[in-house]
A and B are shown apart, each in its own frame.
Chain A
């Protein structure tokens, strides 16, 4: 049996209707995000105060309006863009920083190892809300600050993962061989070690995406995230809370979308895990 067909078999086994649903949802979100400007939606920032707090089915606003009379559907869809930008950005930062720390620590050993891994420990020991609070307060809220903050917060998981893998692999023969062939340490790291540690890292990616959305919504809820009037689902829940009684959809709809998106990313993560790294996912969960 070839590696490819074994791989395909594992992929098929890792799928089930719920997970496929999740993957499709993610796909839809991504497509919507790209197409959103073409959908002819009302401006998510446009205020129509006389129409404020309209319920679902208000003419011209199928999902209703918020306290500024802004269209809820439009804000949900444009908000998806922000969510993706923030979560992909944060994941990318976490990936780069984390993998770099883990690689350097695992490969170079001794002093470098101590510095990199202790940095990771400090980040982990820091209560995440405090870290977010401090960074955002120093640099001011905004999407860039958010991406950097969350990236730093999530880097330890990639760092530890990479470190663990590198340590296991660094004394193996093909690494020695690469060295013997005269490749520099950096080259060896990138061309030999990195591909071998990639599986668990790839599995971790959608989970980090999901957690970023979760964290971003929490931070926006506290006023530390996206700056209004830019729509963000978390911000919409926080705002909607005040008008919950007048229009519960303002809380219910963004909440549902947050949960669905996180769920979907988690399911994609499960698929990837069972496909690429089945040892970890001993008992498949869904």
Chain B
């Protein structure tokens, strides 16, 4: 009889210990206090991914870019139409040869902690971005930095080694934000900047709370006193939060749910054609894929409408040439159809290349992103139809990136956004050292040459001519086989006005439009 209470006690002890853990855990969680009254307009955003550590210079993905637009500002920014507009710099001037850019900073610029923002900060930031070890997203462009002169506190003169007419648009990217000195420490993070909001509280992995930054140069146009960003990694959960009214705005609306949002009278769907999906190849191995005709055959064999329907529920646009958007002055309607599906021609090309009986290949994708894998599944039968028998290699994203960077694949699915809307971004996808988003071992000096000419061409007419040649060359040598441009959509309550999804690759910079946006009561 005496043993029975002991047994119960030990088991109860275990439960009690666990319960205590739960309770202490609950009280350790930093919880945001509910809003005191409804007079302070609070915007609630549902974000598609967590950002553990903000390093604005790096490419940390769309969610980080949204946070960057809230906390930081660079010399330049974008407006709702995707035009480069002044931000911290109130004006800038390009030299005649496009090798030198003079920026005039606004007066009395401050970071959110009150410290002054001067041309010294600009110099330090730009030099940091130019250092190859900093891993900056715009590092390739910034490596052309020759020097930054600071004749006075309000002026910065940026000198490049080579002309680059598109340079200002790189500075408008969120990753070109001007950072305070403390961000450059060994473990420097930057949750403080010169942007419209400052970070007030974080619940790791769950939410961020921001308050209006009074030191922001355009603070009078910021119409929210408080912004709460909650992480909803699952697309359906994010959407449900919007439908339930838990948040006012979400990013990355799941493609299969576009119609549901459109049917809701209280919500607006704001889609733009954003990143583009494509195939890239391992040409270093030799073998069939090193043969231009085989790659052309692949580009002609795929049914792009099917990719759009299967992987993106129809919310994607066919891209049958180089990914230059229709709204771009460099768009060429004919060349944009260069790879229009023609299975007969594809088979013929395979035969001409000597592969009438086809060959086996490994198709690299990732199970971590459903749309990625679905794209691969969709092109598999198209490739099989011309004799290319593919097996999927579908591990998680980290594995995919490593294999792609090391060339351990034959054909790979990729999705990417250029950094800027200008066709010069194409250079990242056709040349350079081994990377995880371009063909392995691909080298086309003639194409590189043409792209270089495009950067340096004097007039727009000249540029158009060069970029036409670029597109023709791409269609012929197939450094990548474009598939579709997927639709990136924001969805928000109709009470939110002023926010806009910036077109094209700039969709991820849309957070810039939060300044000037307002919530009706």
B partners with A: yes
Which chain A residues have a beta carbon within 8 Å of chain B's beta carbons?
45-47, 49-50, 52, 67-68, 136-137, 140-141, 223-224, 227-229, 239, 241-243, 245-246
Question: Would you mind naming 29 contact pairs between A and B with Cβ atoms under 8 Å apart?
Answer: A46-B381, A47-B377, A47-B378, A47-B381, A49-B306, A49-B309, A49-B310, A49-B378, A50-B309, A52-B309, A68-B374, A68-B377, A68-B378, A140-B393, A140-B399, A141-B367, A141-B394, A223-B368, A223-B396, A224-B367, A228-B373, A228-B377, A228-B394, A229-B377, A229-B380, A239-B370, A242-B254, A243-B256, A246-B256
Q: Which residue of B lies closest to A139 (CB)?
A: B395
| CB pair A137 B310 closer than 8 Å | no
Q: Given A47-B310, A49-B309, A242-B370, answer yes or no on A137-B377 (Cβ-Cβ < 8 Å).
A: no
Q: A residues within 8 A CB of B373?
A: 228
CA distance A136 to B396 in the complex (A): 10
Query: A-B pairs with the 9 shortest C-beta distances?
Result: A223-B367, A49-B306, A49-B309, A68-B310, A227-B394, A47-B381, A227-B392, A229-B377, A49-B310
B260 within 8 A of A: yes
Most buried by B among A49, A52, A241: A49
Q: Which residue of B lies closest to A225 (CB)?
A: B367
Contact with B310, one of A46, A67, A136 (Cβ below 8 angstroms)? A67
**Minimal beta-carbon separation of A240 from chain B (angstroms):** 11
Q: B residues within 8 A CB of A136?
A: 395
Most buried by B among A45, A140, A223, A241: A223
Q: Which residue of B lies closest to A222 (CB)?
A: B367
| CB pair A245 B260 closer than 8 Å | yes
Mark interface residues in B384-399 (1 if CB within 8 Å of A CB, else 0): 0000000011111001
**Minimal beta-carbon separation of A42 from chain B (angstroms):** 13
Q: A residues within 8 A CB of B310?
A: 47, 49, 52, 67-68
CA distance A224 to B381 in the complex (A): 23
CA distance A191 to B256 in the complex (A): 61
**Minimal beta-carbon separation of B318 from chain A (angstroms):** 14
**Minimal beta-carbon separation of B105 from chain A (angstroms):** 48
**Minimal beta-carbon separation of A156 from chain B (angstroms):** 22
**Minimal beta-carbon separation of A47 from chain B (angstroms):** 5
| CB pair A228 B260 closer than 8 Å | no
Contact with A137, one of B260, B303, B396 (Cβ below 8 angstroms)? B396
Q: B residues within 8 A CB of A241?
A: 236
**Minimal beta-carbon separation of B15 from chain A (angstroms):** 21
A sample of 16 more A-B contacts (CB under 8 A), given A49-B309, A228-B392, is A46-B381, A47-B378, A49-B303, A49-B306, A68-B310, A136-B395, A141-B367, A141-B394, A223-B367, A228-B394, A229-B377, A229-B392, A239-B370, A242-B236, A242-B254, A246-B256
Q: A residues within 8 A CB of B396?
A: 137, 223
Q: Which residue of A lies closest to B257 (CB)?
A: A245
| CB pair B395 A141 closer than 8 Å | yes
Q: Which residue of B lies closest to A241 (CB)?
A: B236
Q: A residues within 8 A CB of B399?
A: 137, 140
Q: A residues within 8 A CB of B306?
A: 47, 49
Q: Given A47-B306, A49-B309, A228-B377, answer yes or no on A242-B256 (Cβ-Cβ < 8 Å).
A: yes
Q: Which residue of B lies closest to A239 (CB)?
A: B370
Interface residues of B in 301-322 (CB under 8 A from A): 303, 305-306, 309-310, 313
Q: Which residue of A lies closest to B235 (CB)?
A: A242
Q: B residues within 8 A CB of A245?
A: 256, 260
Most buried by B among A52, A67, A224, A241: A67
CA distance A31 to B309 in the complex (A): 36
Q: Which residue of B lies closest to A140 (CB)?
A: B395
**Minimal beta-carbon separation of A250 from chain B (angstroms):** 12
CA distance A112 to B309 in the complex (A): 59
CA distance A242 to B253 in the complex (A): 12
Q: A residues within 8 A CB of B260?
A: 245
Q: B residues within 8 A CB of A243?
A: 256
Most buried by A among B306, B374, B395, B399: B395
Q: A residues within 8 A CB of B367?
A: 141, 223-224, 227
**Minimal beta-carbon separation of A259 from chain B (angstroms):** 23
Mark interface residues in B241-285 (1 if CB within 8 Å of A CB, else 0): 000000000000010100010000000000000000000000000
Q: B residues within 8 A CB of A140?
A: 393, 395, 399
**Minimal beta-carbon separation of B412 from chain A (angstroms):** 15
Q: A residues within 8 A CB of B395?
A: 136-137, 140-141
**Minimal beta-carbon separation of B408 from chain A (angstroms):** 11
Q: B residues within 8 A CB of A242?
A: 236, 254, 256, 370
CA distance A228 to B313 in the complex (A): 19
CA distance A52 to B378 in the complex (A): 12
CA distance A46 to B256 in the complex (A): 22
CA distance A26 to B254 in the complex (A): 39
CA distance A137 to B306 in the complex (A): 30
Q: B residues within 8 A CB of A45?
A: 381
Q: B residues within 8 A CB of A223?
A: 367-368, 394, 396
**Minimal beta-carbon separation of B369 from chain A (angstroms):** 10
Q: A residues within 8 A CB of B380?
A: 229
